[in-house]
Chain A
C-alpha cells in the first residue's frame, strides 16, 4: 500500500513533462515548495531526462554491412515466394546454417543408432565419420537449390526424430510416469514452438533470427529425445 507521499512522488515525472492538468500542476507545485524531498527529486529527474536526450549515437564495434548486403537479394526474392512455399512447407537457409544443421543432424542420427545398439547412456556420440550421405551430396542432385536444401534438412531431421522416437518407444516402460508426463509436456511445447516458427517463416523467410530459432528449437527437440532415450537404455 503506497502512502500519500509516494503517490505524490509518482506524479513528479508527469509534472516535469507537463502532463498534469493545470490545477493538478499548481497543486503539486505548492507541495514541492513545502517539501524538501520533492525539491531534491525534481531536479534529479530533470537531469535524467536531459541527459537521455543528449546521449550520443555511436556505431557498432564492427561494420555490419556485409551481413546486410548478403541478405538483400534473398530478401527481395522472399517477398514474392511465400505463398508458393506454404504448400511445400519448406524453408530457405544460409549455407553456414545448412552446414551446421547438416553436421548436427548427422551426429544425432548416428548417435541415436549407436546408442540404441551399444546401449551406453553415459557415452557421448561418436565422432562424425559414418554418415557419408551428407546433405551436400543430396543438394548437388537437386534442381531448385535452396528449396531442395531445406528439403534435405527436413528429411534428415525427420529421420533423426523417427529413430529416436522408435528407440524411446521401445524403452518407454522403463521410465516412471512422471518422467513420461514431463517429457510429453516438453515435446508438445517444443513442437508448438516449431510450428509457430514455421508459420512466422512463411511470412518472412529471410529472417535470420527465425531461421536460427527454428534450427535451435529442432536441436532442442533432438537433444531432449536423445537424453530421454539414454534414460531408457540406462535404466
Chain B
C-alpha cells in the first residue's frame, strides 16, 4: 500500500517536473491529476489532444473507424497513464500510443482477412465498394487516403509525424529500407495531386 502510493507520488512528481519544463498544450498538472483518477483532468487532456490524435488516426487509417479508434486510444491512455514516466513529453508518449493502437488494429484486421478469405469468397456476395473516379479536384487528404495501406502509414509517420525510418521499422516490424522505399512510393503518388501536369499553360 505504501509502496503503491509512493510510486504514484513519484509518477506525479516526474510528470509535473517534465511538463513544467516542456511547452505542451495541456496544463502541467492535468497529466498528474488524471493519473490519480481525476476524470475532469483527463477530459481536459482529451480535449487538448483530440485534434492531433484524431488527425493521426484518420490519416493512418484512411478514415476507417477513425472515431472508434480515437476512443480506443484515449481509453488506453487512461489505462496506461500511471506508467507514463515523463521521459518524453506527454504529447509524444500519447502519439506513440495512438500509433500502436492503430498498428494493432491493422494487424488484427490482416489476420481476420487471412482467416476468412475462403468464407468471404464462397458464402458472401459483398457489395462492391463504390469509388469515385475522375475527380481532378481531389485534395491532398483525399489523395493520401487513397494510398495503399503500407505506403500511407509510413508517409504519415515520417512526413506528417516526423518519425525516423528506423523508428518506423521498429514499430511496423519491417526493415528501414522498406520504410524508405514505401515513403518514396507515397511521395511519388502524391506529387501528382500537388503538381497536376499542365505544361501548355505554364508559359503564358
Contacts and interface: CB of A to CB of B under 8 A. Distances in A.
A51 interface: yes
Interface residues of B, number: 53
A192 B59 CA distance: 31
A60 B70 contact: yes
Contacts of B155: 52
A57 interface: yes
B92 interface: no
A69 interface: yes
B113 to A, nearest CB: 11
Contacts of B70: 60, 64
Nearest to A179: B122
B194 A71 contact: no
A14 B180 contact: yes
B78 interface: yes
A73 to B, nearest CB: 9
B194 A47 contact: yes
A68 B73 CA distance: 9
B190 A196 contact: no
Nearest to B111: A196
Interface of A: 9-10, 12-14, 19, 41, 44-45, 47-49, 51-53, 55-60, 62, 64-65, 67-69, 71-72, 75-76, 79, 182, 185-186, 189-190, 192-193, 196, 200, 206-210, 213, 220, 224, 227
Interface of B: 37, 39, 42-43, 46-47, 50-52, 54-55, 58-59, 65-72, 74-75, 78-79, 105, 108, 111-112, 115-116, 118-119, 122-123, 140-141, 155-156, 159-160, 162, 165, 180-181, 183-184, 187-188, 190-191, 194-195
